Structure 1
Amino acid sequence: MKSILLHLGTDPQFESRLQGALDLARFTEGHLECLQTRRVPAFLGADAAGFAGSAAMVVQLMEDEARLAEAERKALSARLQKEGVPFSFTESLGDPAQTLVDRSLLSDAIVMSIASSDQRELASTLAAVVTKADAPVLAMPAHATRLEVEKPVLVAWKPTPEAAHAVKRSVNLLQQASRVDIVTIDPSGTGDLPPTAVASYLSRHGVRAELHERSSGGASTADTLLGTAKELGSGLLVMGGYGRSRAMEFLLGGVTRRLLAASDLPLLLAH
């Protein structure tokens, strides 16, 4: 993972994802691309008499935002120059989610935040990027102080395209992990893609993985995964994100949705 895309912002979670991005960049000897997104202010009023005034107001708002953005870049640049990580800045106008998706085409990982339920815009942006981006998303918990890359990595396996995408897109990271554990929760049979097939795939990339099976015992799959991660001393959970539509996850619940609400462990998600 040599090209790491970091979503900039002034939200309270920014510090945790900044630290996660720095740790990932150091671990992979990667480059940090800091993406600053700004929305275009909507025009106020559509009648002919008020159009000119509205347009002038929008121009003023955009100029004010541009000055604030420049100040934020200067402050962050001063910090990053002391971190020993190569970095650059990219600025874009438009919807943050779509901008991150567009930039993912030439990114190896996107660093975002696990948002609390009352931060709907951040949560919605994360969900949209996970399901549409052409790169895995490293989602950092709000109170995380770092990404503990020196710890083992836990791969949550289920024979789905999303889980397979997560494994394939994290190979370079798994190659450097101190240990890789593959866990299946309540396995229902071997099927065409059993955990042994995942271990064989990873072995061809020089990754030796240990297999684990766990029973949920009536608990949720998400809670069982987090409990297993704690038991194994994992520093990162790799998994497929949103095995069904986000609307169905919202209505019926789902592992991804529950983890994004409860995880205190960084998640590497791919769809």
Structure 2
Amino acid sequence: MHTERSETARIDSAADQATLVAGRCDVLALVTSTCPWSPAAVAGASLASRWGSNLTGCFLEPSARMLHDADHEPTVLGLLEKPPAHDADAHAAFGAFARQSGVHEATWAVSHTGLARTLKHLGAWHDLAVIERDMVETSGLLDILGEAILGSQLPCLILPPRWNRELSFEHVVIGCNGSIESIRAIHAALPFLRMAKHVTLVDGDVRSSNDADSCLPHFDPFVYLLRHRITAKPQYIRASSDLAGDILLKKARNAQVDLLVMGAYSRSPARERVFGGATRRVLEEADIPVLMQH
């Protein structure tokens, strides 16, 4: 009995700490269906309830989901469509859904433009976006969804296709290579890490005296996490970007991981954003939620 009480107290304490870290943050769920509520809506409401956060549900019209950032208007055919989000009761329905999920402050919105513009705009006053990976067609996964993630610089929780499970964060794996993107992702993941029983940090940081950033203060992810009372189990790798993605995916599958945390890396020609190898591989193949930030 004492063990059960201690374990319950530990879990309650972790939940309280997660709420404290998250504070009154703003969670954005990009909704793809209203009846039933899509996975992003359910996951966003779950997180907002746990953290005592504000929740925004934004329905992105189907005709606009494949638009690039440079494309401002949906097609004429798309304008003629009347998705369920236009129902007069949609706002009230979302409010009722949020209250039933334990969320006290909820807002409903509809976007008539592309994913990248929508996320960049809403990201200005939100702390986390919950996105269904299959909200865009496979052909647009890297350029459209990638453009949105990289352009917004907002922490994004990417749900795998056909996600229908309850969110769990018992075991979290962090991929860190010392880049500014991975450091931002670790910082953004603190509320999730507070809820985890096990945290594994896969460290691929390779630094030398010739590095351009060697004159800057060094970020030690293990020390940083310890300061937040999070003890991470270390694993060290030395691999190319493409292989690093495979290693993270293999680790996640073999260890029954609930969440993967990593930076969203890009190779950016003059006017085009392109995902780096590890980010591309994980985004394409992960079958668990992934928290990414550029």
Structure 2 length-normalised TM: 0.70
AA in 2 matched with 1:85: V
SS of the equivalent of 1:228 reads helix
2:192 match = 173
2:9 match = none
CA shift for structure 1 position 134: 3.9
Which of residues 148, 165, 183 in structure 2 aligns to 1:146? 165
SS of the equivalent of 1:84 reads coil
Q: 1:65 to 1:37 in 2, by over 3 A?
A: same
2:255 match = 232
SS of the equivalent of 1:206 reads coil
CA shift for structure 1 position 37: 3.6
Q: 1:68 to 1:148 in 2, by over 3 A?
A: closer
1:213 aligns with 2:236: yes
Number of corresponding residues: 252
Distance 2:107 2:35 in 1: 22
1:268 aligns with 2:287: no
Distance 1:101 1:257 in 2: 20
Alignment of 1:91-110 (within 5 A): 91-110=110-129
Distance 1:254 1:70 in 2: 44
Q: 1:90 to 1:11 in 2, by over 3 A?
A: closer
RCO higher in 1 or 2 (8 Å CA, sep ≥ 6)?
Answer: 1
Note if contact 2:116-2:149 (Cα within 8 Å) is conserved in structure 1. no
AA in 1 matched with 2:179: T
Identity across aligned pairs (percent)? Answer: 24
Note if contact 1:117-1:123 (Cα within 8 Å) is conserved in structure 2. no
Which of residues 42, 46, 62 in structure 2 aligns to 1:23? 46
Structure 1: 5+ residue stretches without partners:
45-57
Q: Deviations over 1:226-270 (max 9, x none)?
A: 2212333321111000242385746xx611111111100110000
Note if contact 1:20-1:146 (Cα within 8 Å) is conserved in structure 2. no
Q: Deviations over 1:179-233 (max 9, x none)?
A: 3221125x6567769998111112222322221124669x832221122123333
SS of the equivalent of 1:129 reads helix
Q: 1:68 to 1:43 in 2, by over 3 A?
A: closer
Structure 2: 5+ residue stretches without partners:
1-21, 65-72
1:201 aligns with 2:220: no
SS of the equivalent of 1:220 reads helix
SS of the equivalent of 1:115 reads helix
Alignment of 1:63-74 (within 5 A): 64=82, 68-70=86-88, 72-74=90-92
AA in 1 matched with 2:226: S
Which of residues 69, 79, 90 in structure 1 aligns to 2:97? 79
SS of the equivalent of 2:39 reads helix
1:35 aligns with 2:58: yes
Note if contact 2:143-2:274 (Cα within 8 Å) is conserved in structure 1. no
Which of residues 102, 108, 114 in structure 1 aligns to 2:133? 114
Note if contact 1:159-1:194 (Cα within 8 Å) is conserved in structure 2. no
Q: 1:79 to 1:12 in 2, by over 3 A?
A: closer
CA shift for structure 1 position 132: 1.7
Q: 1:67 to 1:85 in 2, by over 3 A?
A: closer
AA in 2 matched with 1:222: G
Note if contact 1:154-1:234 (Cα within 8 Å) is conserved in structure 2. yes
Q: 1:182 to 1:12 in 2, by over 3 A?
A: farther
Distance 1:14 1:119 in 2: 22
State the structure with more CA Rg: 1
